[in-house]
């Protein structure tokens, strides 16, 4: 059995072993297996090690290295330093942020009042832990919640009763979530409601639902909790598994459970996502399109920034997720959001009507003041990541779809309007490469400076200039738990990317001399393409009458 709760002193030996082995393989163009799998754990505090992200498809590792450190960067930094920084980045990705963030529904509530409400609620619900709640110094609608409780030397399994969960559920637990019934894969036989349990993540991916023995495959201990149900309710018959199955009492970092916390007043959202809507800067009375809207965090933020005045059209291609958007809009009392089950590649069409409170997509081209394209992506910036089960083909599959969506974003926005493109990915092919392609494909758009600016510049790669890279925002995951850096709420967060574009206004038409008028001709019939054609008014009238018949 490979059980991951190694002591700090043992980790030190593992680290030395890794450094020795990686020194031997400096010239290798591929990360060696030892480098990927020996560094599975890293000490967060004395006595406990966080499981470092592992990969089902080892080809993903080398692909991510080439994406995070493109050829231009490797040439500048050198292969050895690039590999070391890549390994550190994987470590950062394996840790949850120390900070939790709440966006206040400022449309209906005052942030100072809500700050006090959040402090009181956390004190009631999390009596065993202490938290500090502060207002963000730049984002005027954001509260920062920091845990003041860390695991001590005695953080270890408290019970022989095991709960086995998958890596996705494990990531949620590290963020402070309780475990719902659907997240439980295995539970020791004889377990009863009210029992203390120890929670493990299945790293091997071999546990089958309903497993009841002690799990002997590779696993990682991450938390202790109280069982709120029984084996029979979880695995037998058709019992309801939507409720809380395990209430978490102890993890190595005590992030608060934000589920159901003041639902009409706050929305749990990451700093980069909140920044993204502020960069879009929607104004009251405007018409805004959110192309890939689920679960509605940015959609509701946009409507809030608009003061609930205007129209926000939210499109989502997954039908069940549209219900979530509508529910969030109702909960936050935002009435200007119209959510539709629609793939955004079909958002606009020739001859379609302009957007309205009653109209359904598709819409007329050039109808929206602002467009947010928070594109579907590989999600490589998410934290905490325990195991990546994706194949390399899946990770590579997103840029073509992102380009298709961007085509529609440019088509949908008005001249003079704004497009914000964002992902929660770290790969350059989904970010900087998309920007370079967009600027070459659409000469009518240009990059715009971003406000607020909390992230770092983009990577100068794929032909991106320094000036262009400086107009982008990249949030790199940085954890003070994984290194000695001084992390703060703006950099101890998920990986994220933001680019802002403005569509040029058409050039003003020249004023014709007295007695002359414009002659508008299709490009293929124009005798001097690129020039405005003035003709005497009588001739323009004559041609305007006869040309349709001749054509």
pLDDT of residue 509: 56
Q: How far apart (Å, rounded) are the C-alpha atoms in residues 199 and 222? A: 6
287 among known catalytic residues: no
Spot the catalytic one: 287, 424, 461, 489: 424
Instruction: Please tell me the distance from the alpha carbon of residue 363 to that of residue 412, in angstroms, as a whole number.
Output: 8
Class of domain 162-251 as given by CATH:
mainly beta
User: What residue spans define the domains of the chain?
Assistant: 3-94, 162-251, 270-503, 516-550
SS3 of the chain: helix, strand, coil, percent, to 5: 30, 25, 45
- Quickly count: other Cβ atoms within 10 Å of residue 523's Cβ: 7
pLDDT of residue 263: 93
The C-alpha atoms of residue 25 and residue 208 are separated, in whole angstroms, by 37
Q: What is the dihedral of CA 522, 525, 527, 531, to 10 degrees?
A: 10
Distance (Å, whole) CA 387 – CA 171: 9
DSSP annotation string for 397-421: THHHHHHHHHHHHHHHEEEEEEEEE
List the pLDDT tens digit at each of the 551 positions of the chain.
Answer: 444 433 222 233 333 333 333 333 333 333 333 233 323 444 444 445 666 788 888 899 999 999 999 999 999 999 999 999 999 898 888 888 889 999 999 999 999 999 999 999 988 876 677 889 999 999 999 999 988 777 666 788 999 999 999 988 998 898 888 999 889 999 999 899 999 999 999 988 899 999 999 899 988 899 999 999 888 888 876 555 678 999 998 887 778 888 889 999 999 999 999 999 999 999 999 999 999 999 999 999 999 999 999 999 999 999 999 999 999 999 999 999 999 999 999 999 988 999 998 889 999 999 999 999 999 999 999 988 888 888 999 999 999 999 999 999 999 999 999 999 999 999 999 999 999 999 999 999 999 999 999 999 999 999 999 999 999 999 998 766 666 566 789 988 999 999 999 999 876 656 667 776 665 555 555 565 555 666 677 776 666 655 544 44
Other C-beta atoms closer than 10 Å to the C-beta of 544 total 13
Q: Under a CB-based contact definition with an 8 Å cutoff, are residues 188 and 211 in contact?
A: no
Q: Determine the 3-state secondary structure of 143 from DSSP.
A: strand
Distance CA 392, CA 394 (A): 5
Q: Which residues have C-beta within 8 Å of that of residue 349, sequence separation ≥ 6?
A: 362, 363
- Cβ within 8 Å of residue 291, ≥6 positions away: 315, 344, 347, 371, 372, 373, 374, 375, 405, 408, 409, 412
Binding region: 292-298, 316, 374
Tell me the CA end-to-end span of the chain in Å, nearest whole number: 81
- The per-residue pLDDT for 22 is 35
How many other CB atoms sit within 10 Å of the CB of residue 262?
A: 17
Q: Using alpha carbons, list the distances in angstroms from residue 392 to 85, 388, 395.
A: 21, 10, 5
Q: Which residues are annotated as a binding site for S-adenosyl-L-methionine?
A: 292-298, 316, 374
- DSSP, collapsed to helix, strand or coil, labels residue 370 as strand
Map 154-205 to HEC letters: CCCCCCCCEEEECHHHHHHHHCCCCEEHHHEEEECCCCCCCCEEEEEEECCC
- 270-503 carries CATH number 3.40.50.2020: no
User: Cβ atoms within 10 A of the Cβ of 186, count?
Assistant: 23
| DSSP calls for 75-127 | HHH-HHHHHHHHHHHHHHHHSPPSEEEEEE-TTTS-HHHHHHHHHHHHHHHTT
């Amino acid at each position: 059995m490979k059980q991951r709760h190694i002591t700090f002193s043992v980790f030190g030996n593992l680290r030395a072993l890794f450094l020795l082995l990686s020194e031997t393989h400096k010239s290798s163009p591929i990360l060696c297996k030892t480098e990927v799998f020996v560094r599975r754990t890293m000490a967060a505090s004395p006595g406990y090690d966080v499981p470092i992200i592992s990969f089902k498809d080892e080809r993903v590792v080398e692909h991510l290295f080439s994406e995070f450190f493109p050829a231009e960067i490797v040439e500048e930094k050198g292969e050895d330093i690039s590999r070391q920084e890549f390994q550190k980045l994987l470590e950062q990705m394996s840790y949850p942020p120390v900070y939790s963030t709440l966006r206040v529904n400022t449309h209906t509530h005052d942030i100072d009042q809500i700050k006090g409400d959040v402090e009181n609620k956390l004190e009631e619900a999390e009596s065993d832990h202490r938290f500090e709640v502060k207002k963000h110094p730049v984002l005027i609608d954001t509260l920062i919640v920091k845990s003041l409780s860390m695991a001590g030397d005695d953080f270890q399994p408290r019970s022989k009763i095991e709960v086995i969960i998958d890596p996705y559920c494990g990531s949620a637990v590290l963020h402070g979530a309780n475990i719902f019934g659907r997240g439980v894969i295995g539970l020791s036989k004889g377990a009863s409601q009210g029992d203390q349990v120890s929670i493990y993540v299945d790293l091997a991916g071999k546990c089958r639902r309903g497993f009841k023995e002690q799990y002997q495959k590779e696993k990682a201990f991450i938390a202790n909790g109280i069982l709120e149900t029984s084996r029979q309710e979880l695995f037998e018959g058709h019992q309801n598994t939507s409720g809380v199955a395990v209430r978490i009492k102890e993890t190595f970092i005590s992030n608060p459970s934000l589920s159901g916390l003041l639902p009409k007043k706050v929305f749990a959202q990451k700093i980069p996502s909140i920044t993204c809507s502020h960069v879009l800067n929607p104004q009251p009375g405007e018409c805004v399109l959110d192309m890939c809207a689920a679960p509605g965090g940015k959609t509701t933020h946009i409507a809030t920034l608009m003061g609930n005045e205007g129209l926000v059209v939210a499109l989502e291609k997954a039908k069940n997720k549209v219900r979530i958007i509508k529910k969030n809009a109702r909960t936050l009392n935002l009435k200007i959001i119209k959510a539709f089950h629609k793939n955004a590649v079909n958002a606009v069409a020739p001859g379609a009507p302009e957007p309205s409170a009653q109209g359904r997509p598709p819409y007329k081209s050039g109808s929206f003041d602002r467009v947010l394209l928070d594109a579907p992506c590989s999600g490589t910036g998410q934290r905490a990541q325990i195991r990546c089960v994706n194949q390399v083909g899946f990770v590579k599959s997103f840029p073509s779809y992102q380009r298709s969506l961007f085509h529609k974003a440019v088509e949908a926005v008005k001249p003079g309007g704004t497009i914000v493109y964002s992902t929660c990915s770290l790969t350059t092919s989904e970010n900087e490469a998309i920007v370079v392609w967009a600027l070459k494909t659409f000469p009518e758009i240009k990059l715009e400076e971003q406000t607020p600016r909390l992230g770092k510049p983009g990577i100068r790669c794929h032909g991106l200039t320094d000036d262009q890279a400086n107009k982008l925002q990249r949030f790199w995951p940085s954890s003070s738990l994984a290194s000695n850096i001084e992390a703060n709420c703006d950099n101890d967060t998920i990986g994220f990317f933001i680019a802002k574009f403005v569509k040029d206004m058409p050039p003003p038409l020249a004023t014709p001399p007295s007695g002359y008028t414009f002659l508008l001709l299709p490009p293929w019939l124009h005798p001097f393409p690129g020039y405005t054609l003035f003709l005497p008014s009588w001739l323009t009238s004559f041609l305007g009458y006869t040309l349709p018949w001749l054509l």
